Amino acid sequence: MSETFAFDETDRKIVEQLRQNGRATNQQIAEALNLIASTVSTRIRRMEDAGMLRVVAVSDFAVHGYHVLIHLAVQVSGRSALEVAEDLAVFPEVFAAHLVTGSYEISLLLTLRDIDELPSLITDRLSKVSGIRSMTPAIGLDIVRYGLDTAPIDSRRLA
């Protein structure tokens, strides 16, 4: 990360263009914003170098055979929640791991191919992680909104 800066209005407009079409060329973005392509290219590169922007592709879970989404609330005891979350995050079924406030310390999103995988995942694999006091799964019935228009960037990589 070569520099730190605050987004200005032009940066915000460039990011908005990329949110609408991640495949847009610098020239297309420049035309939409009344800029020149080299300005767009320089600003995108600057945001990427500063760790403020990532352009990624997202595909549907179901296309890859994952048909079950589970929220797993994890209570921790005897270890730091961060250590437990880091141990849980390495499981391939863990799509997202968050430290949270409230009645539990860790929130996980799991993706499974079939609901029949859940019992063995919890009892045979996840429960072996030291420091877990309890786990409460909730099965996702339907996805009402799944937005990636503002995706967080891992703050630990920016430090």
More confident residue, 101 or 53: 101
Give me the mean pLDDT over the 93-97 stretch. 92
pLDDT at 151: 55
The domains located in the chain, with CATH, are 9-49 (1.10.10.10), 61-139 (3.30.70.920)
Best CA proximity match to 95, nearest among 132, 143, 134:
143
78's torsion region: left (phi>0), alpha (psi -120 to 50) or beta?
Answer: left
147 pLDDT more than 70:
no
Q: Which comes out higher in pLDDT, residue 34 or 3? A: 34
- Residue 154 scores a pLDDT above 60: no
Query: Rounded mean pLDDT of the chain?
Result: 86
| 50 three-class SS | coil
What confidence score (pLDDT) does residue 127 get? 95
